[in-house]
Structure 1
């Protein structure tokens, strides 16, 4: 029989507070936080002594590609470009089975979970080489992981699919019927990008599913879709339901044009996800000096009020050959490569926790009534956690310990 759980003596920064306090958290049998306060009575709960460890909301990876995860050893991308990665994966895609995808994805999910991630949104290829095999695999994997991770599956139309409008509509409908949670794709790959975007928006409006697309993952200021994205979001009344992944081309635009575009995104209610690992690796390789970073304008987006999250993107494949699954590492890369400031460590943490949790509509946070999806780490505060990471981490999902690198045997029953 499941008992209630009392986390005793953790360093907790309540929502709205500026610094952590030594407090207790009580978690009910339903896996939700029932109380936060000082010296809470145990009243029959299992007690876990935290001894001043920091307690924060679990990390949220809003943009991964679990269907491609850990395929690095199978392929080659000698040029290190986005085009090279696409071609490399396309060459092996027909031979990858659903069982292969699931096995590799499970390894990545396990690593991410151990490091503090409680939710992943996986952009899953739909293209002529893969068809719906990836969607079927990721939906099955989602069910296998439901006791340790929230997983949302994006029906991600990519490759030649965005130019095949009739087939894309059929694939998209079938993917949603199979259980895909989110609508996505790459308009820049289409011969008719605006028509393809209209198809995605039509489907989102009809089905009530959110949109999470790869938008302008390049550094050519002469071909951007941001204005159209903002217009369609506004016309369809989808504010708060549209995410633009990458948005790298914002960084290539003249500053005044970029700021005007950012204001349009803000007014329309579009959020942006920056993917520093992929964009640092893939973009700008043709430059002969002052190689561009390839990221979007992170600081300017935040300053103008656009919600900005950061995420892993690819882990150990042709697009990003590295990756541990540690979102604190991604937060550090975002701060450094995105030219945030020395006092923005807390903002970087929000970009891998609170902000993506809101975009994924997760019931998360350190407040009474929220799900107890938590990360416990030996650190003084959130800023220190981002700056240096943590060797010791314990992860709770729905109030249950699903991973720990320090002993949780120091518990008792009151």
Structure 2
């Protein structure tokens, strides 16, 4: 059989020796030890000025470097990416001031402005080995559908290098931002893939519960999943996660439901936290933690000792809940950093959740790969039959642990069988 792409001399996770990975029709055909016969290249895959001996565009020598399935960012905000230079400083450093400071900038969004910044964010992800992204996009009466239209345009422009899912996200609330419920419907009809939510941005507990109900009703009506910002607060009285999980159970809701942030879970007393985690597990919710942002925003005004600001990662995992980790923000009003690096996200998560043993370090990797794939419901892995979406790391990176420790971006990024990013730099430059 002939192949269109070969990666030779590859270190493959959980396999001894170097291997050759053969790709055809966007999928992995085989992974064989380099001592086995080398598959034959397909001449039809070469450029017109190449022959079989010079088809360098279709052969990659990994030189002993790690080859692993690609990264996935399950939670980012591409519509807000890179707007921090246009905003007044967040002097308090709080979530509330960040939301407020964005209002004027959001009102001035244009389709071109959002598209260009979102493309920049997608391309930054791709350079760092992440070609599958789920982005939340503000849908409210301030920006209308302009953020969605801009991100839809960016998704189309980048369709050859990345897959982007869009969550219609009511950042400003639904009940207290009259008109947003209708905009959410229009967003779903215009190309958004999931219903988002932010019940904490409502005035009363009753309104927060109704916010959750509206989101689940919309998802049911349009046959889509739910990915909601839930209890992104230090308030130990926050109860949106508990209500969401119970409502999913009571309704028999059978669409995928993801709860993002869930910071208040860390503020609960242990018995109540255990009850809520049991509900989350029973409901089959997946959870996304976002340490890059929440380590800075949450617990900011605590005395000492300060809380870590992220959810109870260890207890959720021990209860069988699928947990993933997201970049969340890229140089916006919430977070003045962000490099679209899932390696950095994994490293920050490992620090915040204290993941040090070999099994825990593997978990940190899975938070931005296999577990994130479960959240998105996408095919993922480095095995025959899987999509040929993988990263080829520099030769000094021979393992997943070394990739996280060194923070080195891949030399080559392959998405569905095509090389979509390549760098010859000796040291990684994040953009």
If the length of structure 2 is used for normalisation, what is the TM-score? 0.89
Give the C-alpha shift of residue 132 in structure 1.
Answer: 0.9
Q: Is the 8 A contact 2:128 2:410 kept in 1?
A: no
CA deviation string 1:61-114 (max 9, x = no partner): 010000000001001211110001000001221112111111112112111111
- Are positions 1:115 and 2:110 aligned together? no
SS of 1:161's partner is: coil
Q: Is the 8 A contact 1:392 1:406 kept in 2?
A: no
Write out aligned runs for 1:352-391 (5 A).
352-378=368-394, 379-390=397-408
Q: What is the CA RMSD across the aligned residues, in angstroms? A: 1.7
SS of 1:135's partner is: helix
Pair 1:405–1:149, CA change in 2 (3 A): same
2:20 equivalent in structure 1? 24
- Are positions 1:48 and 2:43 aligned together? no
CA distance in 1, matches of 2:380, 2:122: 19
Give the one of 86, 89, 104 matched to 1:74: 86
Q: Is the 8 A contact 2:173 2:198 kept in 1?
A: no
Write out aligned runs for 1:89-128 (5 A).
89-128=102-141
2:290 equivalent in structure 1? 275
CA distance in 1, matches of 2:154, 2:262: 29
CA distance in 2, matches of 1:26, 1:100: 40
SS of 2:187's partner is: helix
1:187 equivalent in structure 2? 199
Give the C-alpha shift of residue 163 in structure 1.
Answer: 2.8
CA deviation string 1:321-359 (max 9, x = no partner): 001111101101001112223332111010001111121
1:410 equivalent in structure 2? none
CA deviation string 1:287-344 (max 9, x = no partner): 2322222100111111111100001001101101001111101101001112223332
Flag structure 2 segments of 5+ consecutive residues without an equivalent. 43-57, 426-431
CA distance in 1, matches of 2:255, 2:402: 31
SS of 1:288's partner is: coil
- Are positions 1:401 and 2:419 aligned together? yes
CA deviation string 1:21-58 (max 9, x = no partner): 42211110x21111122235322244322221111111
If the length of structure 1 is used for normalisation, what is the TM-score? 0.93
1:242 equivalent in structure 2? 257
1:202 equivalent in structure 2? 217
Q: Is the 8 A contact 2:113 2:150 kept in 1?
A: no
Flag structure 1 segments of 5+ consecutive residues without an equivalent. 408-414
CA distance in 2, matches of 1:300, 1:388: 28
Count of matched residue pairs: 400
Q: Is the 8 A contact 1:12 1:22 kept in 2?
A: yes
Give the C-alpha shift of residue 391 in structure 1.
Answer: 5.3
Give the C-alpha shift of residue 246 in structure 1.
Answer: 0.2
2:70 equivalent in structure 1? 58
CA distance in 2, matches of 1:108, 1:171: 25
Q: Is the 8 A contact 2:127 2:409 kept in 1?
A: no
